Amino acid sequence: MSDRSAVTTRPRLPEWLRVNVPSGPQLAIFNRTQDAVETNALHTVCEEARCPNIHDCWSHGTATFMIAGKECTRGCRFCSVETLKKPALPELDEPEHLSDAVERMNLDHVVITVVNRDDMPDGGADHYRRCVAAVHARRPATSIELLSSDLAGNREALSHLLHETPLAVFAHNVECVPRLDKDVRDPRASFQQSLQILRWARELAPQVVTKSSLMVGLGETDDEVVEALKLLRTAEVELLTIGQYLTPGKPGERFLPVARYVPPETFDAWTTTAYDLGFRGVAAGPLVRSSYRAAELLSAARAGRIER
């Protein structure tokens, strides 16, 4: 059989997963965003996780910064971030560089995500806290969203991170339905541990909005997705994103293959269900990622929130 007639086992991407590249004025904004990131020697999850929305977000002047290094101590099978058992310590001047970039980009809302730092006694909590504080000191009117690690289930570290915090949103992703933990996530992570972190965050900082994200297309059923949403509501999680898993590299020993491509109408149904369950803000769709429309979701949460 010739190469031309050979049949590939890799499924074609459906039309709803097409990504548009910016042009004209949006391309200029994209370039300015890229310059602000590179000038301050910062890492973004947009680049490291190969997010399909990088052109859309960067062309609107929005970026999700990744702090505490560009290597993670965990090896989840959905993620393209490099794994190291003991990465270099976080850079001491990273809070200054981060706050400078946020100021230069004139951001009204910033998302800061982190790599897992299981090599550090506090899981990196103090460094995360200093980065958040630096941004707030430089841009007090900018709302800050932190997409945190699970800190290895360390409540004391989480308490330190959230003490008198200026955060508007504390986010932590459960990633997949509970049944798939062992196949998708690093053995040190689990749905239940993530849920506990979210529950503790509500207890420790009730003024802060909580958020989580779920990937689909990994082998879950529609019913399992709904059950996962119900579990998130038991922890009083207020904001939710659901997106299609896309293999970040060649499927094999490290990366999981896509089990299914979920059509837009199924995401629409989950959105309705999530609102019925009590979520304040929901973004669900094939190209949705954790930070998708982050500022809009925060506004939705604030508009409908009942303060305690």
Contact residues for 258 (Cβ-Cβ < 8 A; gap 6+): 11, 217, 218, 245, 246, 247, 251
Determine phi and psi for 236, rounding to 5 degrees.
60, 30
Pairing of strands 43-44, 109-114: unpaired
Cα separation of 133 and 144, whole Å? 10
CA–CA gap between residue 108 and residue 102 (Å, rounded):
9
165 vs 305: CA distance, rounded Å: 19
pLDDT tens per residue across all 308 residues of the chain: 444 444 434 557 777 666 554 445 545 545 555 555 555 444 444 444 445 544 455 444 456 888 999 899 999 999 888 999 999 999 999 999 999 888 888 888 899 999 999 999 999 999 999 999 999 999 999 999 999 999 999 999 999 999 999 999 999 999 999 999 999 999 999 999 999 999 999 999 999 999 999 999 999 999 999 999 999 999 999 999 999 999 887 766 789 999 999 999 999 999 999 999 999 999 999 989 888 888 889 998 988 765 54
Beta bridge partners of 211: 171, 239
Look at the block and give the residue holding tokens 């958020």. Answer: 211
Which tokens hold the place of 153?
Answer: 């289930």
Q: What 3-state DSSP class applies to 124?
A: coil
Predicted TM-score (pTM) of the model is 0.84
Multiple choice CATH, 22-303, 3.20.20.70, 3.40.30.10, 1.25.40.340, 2.60.40.10:
3.20.20.70
Report the first-to-last Cα separation within the chain, whole angstroms. 68
CA distances to 46, 151, 202 from 125, in Å: 22, 7, 17
Which candidate, 112, 81, 80, 116, places its Cα nearest to that of 95? 112
- Count Cβ atoms within 10 A of the Cβ of residue 271 and give its class: 0-12 exposed, 13-18 middle, 19 or more buried: middle
**DSSP of 243-290, one letter per residue?**
EE---SS-BTTTBPPP-----HHHHHHHHHHHHHHT-SEEEEETT--T
